[in-house]
Amino acid sequence: MTGPLQIGFIPLVDAAALIVAVDRGFCAAEGLDVTLVREVSWSNVRDKLNIGLFDAAHLLAPVAIASSLGLGHVKVPISAPFNLGLNGNAITVSPALHAAIMAEIDGDRFDPMATALALARVVAARRKSGAEPLTFGMTFPFSTHNYQLRFWMAAGGVDPDEDVRLVVLPPPYMVDSLASGHVDAFCVGAPWNSIAVDRGVGLILHFVSDILVRAAEKVLAVRQSWSDRNPQVVAALVRAASNAAEFIEQPQNRLEAAHILSAPERIGVDADVIQRTLDGRLKISPDGTMRESSRYLLVGREGAARPDPVQAAWLYAQMVRWGQAAFSTDALQTAMAVFRPDLYDAALGSVEKAADAPGRIGAFAGPAFAAEDIAGHLAAFKIGRRI
């Protein structure tokens, strides 16, 4: 069908549909010759996609939006015809910070409002004692990790720009940064939260699904101009990724999928850690405490793979809330147009829509999100950095 394709990815479990599509032959079955290129940083992936060194990429959903709006870099319109992962992030904290939060908590430790309020008390006590601000790692300024951390903290009264430090770290470097004390906590995708727990240097405080019921995190991204020129290739990629996602979501296939993903040139961590991730059964503490969630890392189930423009609107609203973008109706429409359910539907024919309410964000704080009322959404929150 086409010449060889170069597709970039970061070693994260939410690249699973892409990796399995290539390594188990779903791409070949669609007539695609794909070489996957492992990268360490999101800026590398973005830049190589933007200048055409990559034909497609595993990409942070907000980076696709920022690129299309020309925020933080050159303007390159991006299309996202396939969601690679919902709800795959988690917040991991050092044993010392976990103990400090638990000492201050009033309520359920898995309730993000209870932990956010406890964090506010920890921050206040540190300020009073003259201690350095806490440092939180996240993967990129335009990332779900950044917005999810900020949303959680701010709900408890912690100003993420004034009360703590947020620093950018590539996902594979998060664990060493926590172990060395360079950061006190981080928000990252799997498997790096689990690796921190297995190494005894961190505890998983929250799955992101505690904070948002549905959070689009990574997408299969292509340049819009390339997509327009190669509609059949895009459709074939969507079908291959969809078949791979369906394969991964079958419990009997999880062991095989985990072994594929564990290869050194793919994610390069133990298959057991990856299988726990795919099963939504994570060890959250070095003492062996386990936690299960049916909403942790949706690869294809519950309509997760179909791009939802309302998710793009929520991400754009966070860019506005935190001063990365000025609000405009045109920019909102551009952001929502990055997510392409039309291309997804065209590739797969008639598809069953998500069982959940379309576009549901389900944040633990604030009013229900409505894409048509960004102003109302932002007005509900006291802490922000609107331009």
Please check whether residues 20 and 55 belong to one and the same domain.
yes
Please check whether residues 337 and 239 belong to one and the same domain.
yes
Domain span at 42: 5-86+215-268+299-379
Please check whether residues 226 and 342 belong to one and the same domain.
yes
Domain end call among 167, 186, 211: 211
Q: CB–CB of 55/33 below 8 Å?
A: no
Percentage of the chain beyond pLDDT 70 is: 97
216-223 and 78-86: which strand pairing?
Answer: antiparallel
Residue 105 lies inside a defined structural domain of this protein: yes
* Residue 73 pLDDT: 84
Please check whether residues 93 and 175 belong to one and the same domain.
yes
Amino acid identity, position 211: I
Q: CB–CB of 237/1 below 8 Å?
A: no
353 contact partners, CB below 8 Å, separation of at least 6: 303, 306
CA separation for the pair 140, 145 (Å, rounded):
8
Q: CB–CB of 157/87 below 8 Å?
A: no
Domain end call among 211, 233, 253: 211
Domain end call among 165, 182, 211: 211
Q: Tell me which residue of 319, 343, 344 sits closest to 331, measured CA to CA.
A: 319
Q: CB–CB of 136/185 below 8 Å?
A: yes
Residue 290 lies inside a defined structural domain of this protein: no
Please check whether residues 53 and 119 belong to one and the same domain.
no
Please check whether residues 141 and 207 belong to one and the same domain.
yes
According to DSSP, the residues that pair with 168 across neighbouring strands are: 138
Please check whether residues 228 and 366 belong to one and the same domain.
yes
Residue 165 lies inside a defined structural domain of this protein: yes
Q: Which tens digits make up the pLDDT trace of 83-94?
A: 999 999 999 999
Instruction: Round the average pLDDT of the chain to a whole number and report it.
Output: 95
CA separation for the pair 155, 365 (Å, rounded):
7
Q: CB–CB of 299/87 below 8 Å?
A: no
Please check whether residues 141 and 80 belong to one and the same domain.
no
Please check whether residues 96 and 79 belong to one and the same domain.
no
Residue 281 lies inside a defined structural domain of this protein: no
Please check whether residues 48 and 118 belong to one and the same domain.
no
Residue 373 lies inside a defined structural domain of this protein: yes
CATH number at residue 37: 3.40.190.10
With a cut of 70, list the residues of the chain below it in pLDDT.
1-2, 350-359
* Torsions phi, psi for 322 (to 5 deg): -100, 20
Residue 384 lies inside a defined structural domain of this protein: no
Please check whether residues 236 and 357 belong to one and the same domain.
yes
In three-state secondary structure terms, 283 is strand
CA separation for the pair 88, 109 (Å, rounded):
20
Please check whether residues 167 and 314 belong to one and the same domain.
no
E strand or H helix at 7, and its extent? strand 5-9
* Residue 353 pLDDT: 54
CA separation for the pair 40, 172 (Å, rounded):
7
Residue 288 lies inside a defined structural domain of this protein: no
